[in-house]
Protein backbone atom coordinates (compact mmCIF):
# COMPACT_ATOMS: atom_id res chain seq x y z
CA UNK A 1 0.00 0.00 0.00
CA UNK A 2 1.22 3.46 -0.88
CA UNK A 3 1.94 5.55 2.16
CA UNK A 4 1.19 9.26 2.39
CA UNK A 5 4.75 10.31 1.68
CA UNK A 6 4.96 8.12 -1.44
CA UNK A 7 1.72 9.71 -2.61
CA UNK A 8 3.17 13.18 -2.16
CA UNK A 9 6.46 12.25 -3.78
CA UNK A 10 4.65 11.00 -6.87
CA UNK A 11 1.82 13.53 -7.06
CA UNK A 12 1.21 15.10 -10.44
CA UNK A 13 -1.47 17.35 -11.76
CA UNK A 14 -3.34 16.24 -14.86
CA UNK A 15 -4.19 18.68 -17.65
CA UNK A 16 -7.80 19.73 -17.09
CA UNK A 17 -8.81 18.78 -20.62
CA UNK A 18 -7.60 15.21 -20.06
CA UNK A 19 -9.76 14.64 -16.97
CA UNK A 20 -12.62 12.27 -17.66
CA UNK A 21 -15.57 10.69 -15.88
CA UNK A 22 -16.01 9.53 -13.26
CA UNK A 23 -15.38 12.30 -10.81
CA UNK A 24 -15.67 11.55 -7.11
CA UNK A 25 -19.17 10.67 -5.99
CA UNK A 26 -20.84 12.75 -3.28
CA UNK A 27 -19.55 10.63 -0.43
CA UNK A 28 -15.95 10.72 -1.63
CA UNK A 29 -16.21 14.39 -2.52
CA UNK A 30 -17.33 15.14 1.02
CA UNK A 31 -14.28 13.29 2.35
CA UNK A 32 -11.99 15.15 -0.04
CA UNK A 33 -13.51 18.48 1.02
CA UNK A 34 -13.28 17.59 4.71
CA UNK A 35 -9.61 16.67 4.29
CA UNK A 36 -8.84 19.75 2.20
CA UNK A 37 -10.38 22.20 4.65
CA UNK A 38 -8.32 20.76 7.47
CA UNK A 39 -5.57 23.27 6.86
CA UNK A 40 -3.56 25.56 9.10
CA UNK A 41 -5.73 28.63 9.60
CA UNK A 42 -4.33 31.34 11.87
CA UNK A 43 -7.11 32.76 14.02
CA UNK A 44 -9.67 30.14 12.90
CA UNK A 45 -11.04 32.54 10.30
CA UNK A 46 -11.78 29.88 7.66
CA UNK A 47 -11.09 32.67 5.15
CA UNK A 48 -11.90 30.61 2.09
CA UNK A 49 -14.89 29.23 0.26
CA UNK A 50 -15.22 26.30 -2.11
CA UNK A 51 -18.03 26.19 -4.63
CA UNK A 52 -18.85 22.96 -6.42
CA UNK A 53 -19.71 23.40 -10.06
CA UNK A 54 -21.29 20.35 -11.59
CA UNK A 55 -22.27 20.29 -15.26
CA UNK A 56 -25.14 22.86 -15.01
CA UNK A 57 -22.99 25.32 -13.00
CA UNK A 58 -20.07 24.77 -15.36
CA UNK A 59 -22.32 25.53 -18.34
CA UNK A 60 -23.50 28.78 -16.72
CA UNK A 61 -19.95 29.84 -15.97
CA UNK A 62 -18.94 28.85 -19.51
CA UNK A 63 -21.67 31.09 -20.92
CA UNK A 64 -20.30 33.98 -18.86
CA UNK A 65 -16.73 33.27 -20.01
CA UNK A 66 -17.85 33.22 -23.65
CA UNK A 67 -19.74 36.48 -23.18
CA UNK A 68 -16.84 38.24 -21.45
CA UNK A 69 -14.35 36.96 -24.00
CA UNK A 70 -16.47 38.03 -26.97
CA UNK A 71 -16.95 41.51 -25.48
CA UNK A 72 -13.21 41.90 -24.84
CA UNK A 73 -12.25 40.48 -28.24
CA UNK A 74 -14.61 41.83 -30.90
CA UNK A 75 -12.64 40.04 -33.62
CA UNK A 76 -12.94 36.61 -31.96
CA UNK A 77 -14.24 33.83 -34.18
CA UNK A 78 -16.83 31.19 -33.28
CA UNK A 79 -14.19 28.58 -32.54
CA UNK A 80 -12.45 30.82 -30.01
CA UNK A 81 -15.72 31.70 -28.33
CA UNK A 82 -16.72 28.03 -28.20
CA UNK A 83 -13.36 27.29 -26.55
CA UNK A 84 -14.10 29.84 -23.83
CA UNK A 85 -17.60 28.41 -23.32
CA UNK A 86 -16.01 25.01 -22.87
CA UNK A 87 -13.24 26.23 -20.53
CA UNK A 88 -15.01 25.59 -17.19
CA UNK A 89 -16.56 22.39 -18.56
CA UNK A 90 -13.36 20.45 -19.16
CA UNK A 91 -13.60 18.04 -16.22
CA UNK A 92 -16.35 16.18 -14.36
CA UNK A 93 -16.10 18.52 -11.38
CA UNK A 94 -14.96 22.09 -11.00
CA UNK A 95 -14.24 23.63 -7.62
CA UNK A 96 -14.01 27.42 -7.44
CA UNK A 97 -11.86 28.38 -4.47
CA UNK A 98 -12.07 31.92 -3.17
CA UNK A 99 -10.29 33.76 -0.37
CA UNK A 100 -12.80 35.68 1.71
CA UNK A 101 -10.33 38.17 3.05
CA UNK A 102 -10.80 40.24 6.16
CA UNK A 103 -8.83 43.42 5.52
CA UNK A 104 -7.54 45.10 8.66
CA UNK A 105 -7.92 41.95 10.74
CA UNK A 106 -5.04 41.25 13.12
CA UNK A 107 -4.28 38.15 11.07
CA UNK A 108 -2.49 39.65 8.05
CA UNK A 109 -4.16 39.23 4.69
CA UNK A 110 -1.23 37.28 3.32
CA UNK A 111 -1.70 34.67 6.03
CA UNK A 112 -5.35 34.39 5.09
CA UNK A 113 -4.34 33.89 1.45
CA UNK A 114 -1.75 31.28 2.38
CA UNK A 115 -4.36 29.27 4.24
CA UNK A 116 -6.47 29.28 1.06
CA UNK A 117 -3.49 28.15 -0.97
CA UNK A 118 -3.14 25.26 1.44
CA UNK A 119 -6.78 24.38 0.75
CA UNK A 120 -6.13 24.23 -3.01
CA UNK A 121 -3.06 22.04 -2.66
CA UNK A 122 -4.86 19.82 -0.17
CA UNK A 123 -7.71 19.40 -2.63
CA UNK A 124 -5.23 18.06 -5.20
CA UNK A 125 -3.59 15.75 -2.70
CA UNK A 126 -6.85 14.47 -1.26
CA UNK A 127 -8.25 13.89 -4.75
CA UNK A 128 -5.16 11.93 -5.72
CA UNK A 129 -5.31 9.93 -2.48
CA UNK A 130 -8.92 9.07 -3.35
CA UNK A 131 -7.84 7.77 -6.77
CA UNK A 132 -8.64 10.86 -8.85
CA UNK A 133 -6.58 13.64 -10.36
CA UNK A 134 -6.87 17.36 -10.70
CA UNK A 135 -5.43 20.61 -11.90
CA UNK A 136 -5.30 23.98 -10.15
CA UNK A 137 -5.72 26.78 -12.66
CA UNK A 138 -6.42 30.46 -12.45
CA UNK A 139 -6.45 31.52 -16.13
CA UNK A 140 -8.06 34.81 -17.07
CA UNK A 141 -11.50 34.17 -15.51
CA UNK A 142 -10.01 34.19 -11.99
CA UNK A 143 -8.97 37.79 -12.53
CA UNK A 144 -12.23 39.15 -13.89
CA UNK A 145 -14.43 41.03 -11.44
CA UNK A 146 -17.52 39.88 -13.35
CA UNK A 147 -16.63 36.25 -12.63
CA UNK A 148 -15.94 36.91 -8.95
CA UNK A 149 -19.25 38.76 -8.68
CA UNK A 150 -21.17 36.05 -10.55
CA UNK A 151 -19.85 33.53 -8.05
CA UNK A 152 -21.32 35.68 -5.31
CA UNK A 153 -18.14 37.27 -4.01
CA UNK A 154 -16.95 40.85 -3.65
CA UNK A 155 -14.23 41.64 -6.20
CA UNK A 156 -13.09 44.59 -4.07
CA UNK A 157 -12.07 42.28 -1.23
CA UNK A 158 -12.29 38.64 -2.18
CA UNK A 159 -9.72 36.87 -4.34
CA UNK A 160 -10.18 33.87 -6.60
CA UNK A 161 -7.46 31.46 -5.57
CA UNK A 162 -8.17 29.19 -8.44
CA UNK A 163 -10.33 26.71 -10.19
CA UNK A 164 -9.56 23.13 -9.21
CA UNK A 165 -10.61 20.69 -11.91
CA UNK A 166 -11.22 17.13 -10.73
CA UNK A 167 -11.85 13.86 -12.48
CA UNK A 168 -10.23 10.62 -13.51
CA UNK A 169 -6.88 10.46 -15.20
CA UNK A 170 -7.12 9.39 -18.86
CA UNK A 171 -3.39 9.28 -19.49
CA UNK A 172 -0.38 8.53 -17.32
CA UNK A 173 1.35 11.55 -15.87
CA UNK A 174 4.83 12.26 -17.18
CA UNK A 175 7.38 13.48 -14.66
CA UNK A 176 7.80 17.23 -14.46
CA UNK A 177 10.87 19.28 -13.74
CA UNK A 178 11.46 19.81 -10.03
CA UNK A 179 14.05 22.09 -8.52
CA UNK A 180 17.19 20.61 -7.14
CA UNK A 181 16.70 20.53 -3.36
CA UNK A 182 20.05 22.26 -2.87
CA UNK A 183 18.73 25.22 -4.89
CA UNK A 184 15.74 25.77 -2.65
CA UNK A 185 16.74 24.37 0.73
CA UNK A 186 19.56 25.71 2.83
CA UNK A 187 20.69 25.37 6.38
CA UNK A 188 20.83 28.57 8.40
CA UNK A 189 23.20 28.56 11.29
CA UNK A 190 23.45 32.27 12.07
CA UNK A 191 23.56 35.69 10.41
CA UNK A 192 27.11 35.52 9.07
CA UNK A 193 26.31 32.46 7.02
CA UNK A 194 23.03 33.58 5.50
CA UNK A 195 24.57 33.82 2.05
CA UNK A 196 25.33 30.12 2.09
CA UNK A 197 22.64 28.13 0.38
CA UNK A 198 22.78 24.52 -0.52
CA UNK A 199 21.97 21.45 1.44
CA UNK A 200 22.69 17.85 0.70
CA UNK A 201 20.00 15.45 1.80
CA UNK A 202 21.30 12.44 3.74
CA UNK A 203 22.25 9.56 1.47
CA UNK A 204 19.23 7.47 0.57
CA UNK A 205 16.71 10.04 1.79
CA UNK A 206 15.24 10.47 -1.65
CA UNK A 207 15.05 6.92 -2.85
CA UNK A 208 13.10 5.34 -0.10
CA UNK A 209 16.02 3.71 1.72
Ligand X SMILES: Cc1cc2nc3c(=O)[nH]c(=O)nc-3n(C[C@H](O)[C@H](O)[C@H](O)COP(=O)(O)O)c2cc1C
Q: How far is the CB of 117 from ligand X (least distance, A)?
A: 7
Residue closest to ligand X (Cβ):
13
In the chain, DSSP finds a helix count (H) and a strand count (E) of 7, 4
Q: Are the C-beta atoms of residues 101 and 112 closer than 8 Å to each other?
A: yes
Give the chain's length.
209
Nearer to ligand X, 12 or 42 (CB): 12
Question: Which residues would be at the binding site for ligand X (CB under 6 A)?
Answer: 12-13, 135-139, 162, 176
Q: Please state the closest distance from residue 93 (CB atom) to ligand X, in A.
A: 16
What's the rounded Cα separation, in Å, for the pair 101 and 43?
13
Closest distance between ligand X and the C-beta of residue 188, in Å? 26
Identify which of residues 12 and 102 has a Cβ nearer to ligand X in the complex: 12
Which C-beta is closer to ligand X: that of 85 or that of 135? Answer: 135
CA distance 61 to 87: 9
- Looking at 49-199, list the stretches that DSSP marks H as alpha helix, in order from N- to C-terminal side: 55-72, 78-86, 109-129, 145-150, 181-184
CB of 38 to ligand X, least distance (A): 19
Q: Between 126 and 137, name the residue whose CB sits nearer to ligand X.
A: 137
Amino acid sequence: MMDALDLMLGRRSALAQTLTEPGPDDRLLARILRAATRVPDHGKLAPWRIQILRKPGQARLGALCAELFAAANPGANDKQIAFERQRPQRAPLLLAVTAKLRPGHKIPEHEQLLSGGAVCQSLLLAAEAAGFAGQWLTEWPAYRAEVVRALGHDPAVDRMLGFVYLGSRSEPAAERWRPDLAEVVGEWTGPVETAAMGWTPPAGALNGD
